[in-house]
Chains A and B, each alone.
Chain A
C-alpha cells in the first residue's frame, strides 16, 4: 500500500512501486484532466504538482510520491490558479486543449514562486510544454495577464 495525499484527500493505493503516477491518478475515475502525451516526460501534458512543484506524472513511479501531496488540475483551488484559468479563458488560449492542463499546472507553479515573470522566466518554465495547435503566443500573454490580475485583485477581468 502506498499512501499519499491526492487533491487534499488521503488515499492508499495498492499498486506496484513502479506504477506510473499518471495512471494511478486516472484510475481514480473522475480525475481525467491529466493527460497521456508522450510517455517519456518530454511533452508536459501529464504535469501535476508534487508538494507544489510541477512534475511529469507519466514518468514518475508511484512509490516516489509516497507520503507526498499530489495535486492535479482538478485540485487547483488557490487564487493563483484561479487567475491563471481566468486569463486562459478570457484570452482564448486553448485550441484542442489537450496539452492545456499541463500548461496551466506549469504556469500556476511559476506564478506562485514568481509574481511578475519576465518573458525569459516564462520561457524557462514553459518551454518543455509542447502544443501542436500553436497556442504559444497566447500562453505567454495569458501568464502575463494572470500576473497582472494577481497584482491588482480588485480589477475587472480583461476586456476582449
Chain B
C-alpha cells in the first residue's frame, strides 16, 4: 500500500508506525521562542509540558477545545511518552508561538491525490511544511489536530521523560538506563523520585536524544479515559468566552446590517442614550477582518444594551447584496454547471472516447443550500483597552489572528495584546474568523479602562453569516454494457469557502492557500474510474461564505455518493458490490465498506416497524481528512410519507485511534451534524435578507430524530488521521440512497423533502 508521502517513513524501533512530520525533525517544534508562563513553582521542560512541585503535569495544548475532545487526546499523547500519572495531568491553552503553527492542515490542503507518491510531491509538501512552520499560524480546523500534534507531543513527552530520568540518575550516580519511569515516578530498585521533586534538576539534564515508544508499549494511547473536561461540562464549571472576563465588565449589543452589504446611513441615538443604564453608543466602522458596520450600545447589562439597540433609529443604505436572491443564484449556478466551462481540476483518461463507446449514460443535477454554523454559544468577545495595552477574553479557533486583529484595531503592538483563550461553545469553522472580535475591540476602544463584552443575538448569528455556500452540480457518467462506469464527469458551480476565509483573515498564507476545497472529495475520491473529468466554476456573490464543518466534502460527498448509487441502479447492481469493484487501488476504502456492510447486516432483509411503511438501507463512502469512512443508514418512510432515520452504522479507519471512545464520539457528532443539515438545514435569502432567524426555523436535529448510531473502528497502525469532520460527509447520501432503496424516489437537493423526490427509471 502506498503511504501518504508527506508522512515520510520515520519508523520506530518496532517498525510498525509511521510517525508523521519527520521532514521537520523533532526539535523544530519543541521549544518556543519564549519561556512558558508559570505559576506555583511550575517548571517548563519544553514548549509542551510543565511540571509542578505538587506533581501536577500541565500539558500545553495549541488546539482549541470546541467539543472535539482534543485537549484530552493531546494530553494522552504527551502523557504516554512521559509516563506521567494520568490522574495528575491537566491542560493549559498554549501561548501564541510559531512552534504551535498548524502544519498538517496546510499541507493537507494541497490539491494532490493522496494515493500518488513522487519525489516532486514530497518536495512540495516538505517546503510547504517549512513555510507553515515559519510563516503560518495557529489554527484549529481541517480535522488536523491529532495529525499535527502527534509527533511534537510525543517527542516533547519523551524528551521530558529522558530529562527527568537523567536527573534522577545523576542524583543516584547511576546511568539513566538503569532507571525506569512509571506513573510520574523514576525508580531504581527500591529508590523513588517523583517528577515534582526532579523537575528543576531536569532542566539541567535536557537530552540530545530520546526514544519514542512502539505502539506495543502504549498503555494510555489507545484507551478511552474519561475526558478531562467531562466533569466541568456536567456541573456548569467550564468557562466559555461568554463566562470569562472581569466581573465588573460592561455589555454591548449591536445593530448590524439588515441586508447583505448594507451600511449605516443615519442614526439617531437620543432615545437609546436616555435609557437608564446605557453608558455609550459606539458607531462601528467595520471592514477589517470581515467585520460589519453598525452601531453598538454599551450598558451595565446585556438586556439593557439590547433595549438600547431597539431604541436606536438606524437608517440603512442598501449595499451590493440588497437585491440578492438565493433562489435566483441557484438557477444561475445550475446553468453554469450545465455550461461546464469552469476550471478543470482533473482530466484523466479519455472521457470523449468513453462516451463514444458507452452503452448507457447517466446524468443528474444536484444542489445544496447555504447553511449557518449556529454553534450553541453565540458569537461573543470581551475586550479591555487600558494604558497602551489590551486584554481579550474569547474562545477562538485562531488565537494569533485574534491578537493581530485587536492590535491592528487598537494601534498596538501584538506583544501588548493578551488573549485569554477559553473553551468554545461549538466552532464548526465559525470561530476561525474574528469579525466579532474586531467589533468588540472597536467598542472597547471607545470605553477605555472598562472591559466590554460584545454578545450577538442568536438572530445575528444565523442571519449575518458567513455561510456554507450554496452549490449546484451536474454529474454525468458513461457506462459499459455491464453497467460499469467508464467515464465520470462533474461540473459544479458556487462560491469558495477558503476564498471567503482568506478575506476574513487578511492573511497572506490563507490568501495564497491552494484552493481545492470546492472540489475536494471529487478530485481525490478513492475510486478508480477509467476516465474522470472534474470542473468547477468559482462564482463571486455578495454573500459572506466560510468554512463549515467538512468544508467541500459537506456537499461533494452528497453529489458523488448519490450519483454512484444512480449508476449502480441502471443495471440494478448491489451498491456495495458496485463500489468495491471500483476500489481495487484503495484497500482501506474497501475495508471500511466491507466492515460497515457486515455490521449493518447489509444482505439481510429489512422490515419496516410500522404497518404500511417502507424501509431501506443506503450506503455512502468517504475518504477525507486522512480517514476513510463508510456509513450505512436505515430509513423508514411511513404510510403518510414521514421519514425516519432509524439506524446508522459507521465503519471508520482514521489510522491509529488515539482515543477510541473519542473517535466514536466524533463520529456520532459528525453524523448528527450532517443529518441535521440533510433533514432541516437551509438558509434562504431574498432581497438581501436572510429568511431564517432563530433555532425554530433554522432547526437543529432533536433527540427524537436521533437514530441509533453504531461506530466500528478499523484497527490500524497507519498514522492518526482526522475524525472531527469525517462523519459529516457521508450521512446525507447514505440517507438519500436509503430513501431510494425504500422506494421513496431520488433526492437530488438538500435539505431532504420527500415530496420533491424524483422518480427515476
Binding site for B on A (CB under 8 A): 19-20, 23, 27, 29, 32-40, 42-43, 45, 72-74, 76, 84-85, 88-90, 92-101, 104, 122-123, 126-140, 160
Q: Given B235, B378, B668, which contacts A85 in the complex, CB threshold below 8 Å?
A: B235
24 contacts between A and B (CB under 8 A): A23-B301, A23-B303, A32-B243, A35-B376, A36-B378, A36-B455, A37-B377, A39-B694, A42-B696, A72-B236, A92-B226, A92-B665, A94-B67, A96-B375, A97-B67, A98-B425, A123-B703, A127-B703, A127-B704, A128-B702, A132-B700, A133-B669, A136-B706, A137-B709
Determine whether the beta carbon of A88 is less than 8 Å from that of B695.
Answer: no
Q: Give complex CA distance A43, B461 in Å.
A: 14
B529 within 8 A of A: no
Q: Number of B interface residues, CB 8 Å?
A: 62
Q: Give complex CA distance A134, B425 in Å.
A: 13
Binding site for A on B (CB under 8 A): 66-69, 224-227, 229-240, 242-243, 247, 301-303, 374-378, 423-428, 455, 457-459, 661-662, 665, 668-673, 676, 694-696, 700-704, 706, 708-709
Q: Give complex CA distance A72, B66 in Å.
A: 24
Determine whether the beta carbon of A94 is less than 8 Å from that of B236.
Answer: no
Q: Give complex CA distance A160, B225 in Å.
A: 8
| 14 extra interface residue pairs, beta carbon distance < 8 Å, beyond A40-B458, A94-B230, A96-B66 | A19-B303, A37-B458, A38-B694, A39-B458, A85-B231, A88-B234, A89-B231, A92-B226, A92-B662, A93-B234, A97-B232, A126-B703, A135-B668, A139-B703
Chain B hits for A104, CB < 8 A = 234-236
Q: Is the interface of A mostly helix, strand, loop or mixed?
A: loop
Chain B hits for A35, CB < 8 A = 240, 242, 376-377, 425
Question: Closest residue of chain B to A30, judged by CB?
Answer: B247
Q: Give complex CA distance A99, B669 in Å.
A: 14
Q: Give complex CA distance A27, B378 in Å.
A: 19
Chain B hits for A36, CB < 8 A = 242, 302, 378, 455
Q: Give complex CA distance A36, B425 in Å.
A: 11
Residue among A95, A96, A122, A136 facing the most chain B CB atoms (10 A cut-off): A96
Determine whether the beta carbon of A137 is less than 8 Å from that of B376.
Answer: no
Determine whether the beta carbon of B235 is less than 8 Å from that of A32.
Answer: no
Asked, given contacts A96-B423, A96-B424, A134-B669, whether A37 binds B378 with beta carbons under 8 Å apart, the answer is yes
Determine whether the beta carbon of A33 is less than 8 Å from that of B706.
Answer: no
Determine whether the beta carbon of A97 is less than 8 Å from that of B233.
Answer: yes
Determine whether the beta carbon of A97 is less than 8 Å from that of B425.
Answer: yes
Determine whether the beta carbon of B704 is less than 8 Å from that of A123.
Answer: yes
Question: Closest residue of chain A to B659, judged by CB?
Answer: A92
Q: Give complex CA distance A90, B423 in Å.
A: 20
Determine whether the beta carbon of B423 is less than 8 Å from that of A97.
Answer: yes
Determine whether the beta carbon of A33 is less than 8 Å from that of B700.
Answer: no
Q: Closest CB-CB distance, B749 to chain A, in whole Å?
A: 23
Determine whether the beta carbon of B376 is less than 8 Å from that of A132.
Answer: yes
Q: Give complex CA distance A97, B234 in Å.
A: 7
Q: Give complex CA distance A91, B237 in Å.
A: 18
Chain B hits for A126, CB < 8 A = 703
Q: Given B234, B670, B704, B708, which contacts A94 in the complex, CB threshold below 8 Å?
A: B234
Determine whether the beta carbon of A130 is less than 8 Å from that of B234.
Answer: no
Q: Give complex CA distance A100, B701 in Å.
A: 16
Q: Given A42, A123, A134, which contacts B672 in the complex, CB threshold below 8 Å?
A: A134
Q: Closest CB-CB distance, A45 to chain B, in whole Å?
A: 6
Q: Closest CB-CB distance, A146 to chain B, in whole Å?
A: 11
Q: Given B226, B242, B703, which contacts A90 in the complex, CB threshold below 8 Å?
A: B226
Asked, given contacts A37-B378, A42-B696, A96-B376, whether A32 binds B231 with beta carbons under 8 Å apart, the answer is no
Chain B hits for A96, CB < 8 A = 66-67, 233, 375-377, 423-427
Q: Give complex CA distance A126, B662 in Å.
A: 24
Determine whether the beta carbon of A132 is less than 8 Å from that of B242.
Answer: no
Determine whether the beta carbon of A133 is less than 8 Å from that of B695.
Answer: no
Question: Closest residue of chain B to A125, judged by CB?
Answer: B703
Q: Give complex CA distance A33, B69 in Å.
A: 20
Q: Closest CB-CB distance, B233 to chain A, in whole Å?
A: 3
Q: Give complex CA distance A29, B247 in Å.
A: 6
Chain B hits for A95, CB < 8 A = 67-69, 665, 669
Chain A hits for B708, CB < 8 A = 137
Q: Give complex CA distance A24, B21 in Å.
A: 51
Determine whether the beta carbon of A89 is less than 8 Å from that of B234.
Answer: yes
| A-B residue pairs, 9 tightest by C-beta | A33-B236, A134-B672, A97-B233, A98-B425, A96-B67, A95-B67, A73-B236, A94-B233, A32-B243
Residue among A29, A38, A76 facing the most chain B CB atoms (10 A cut-off): A38
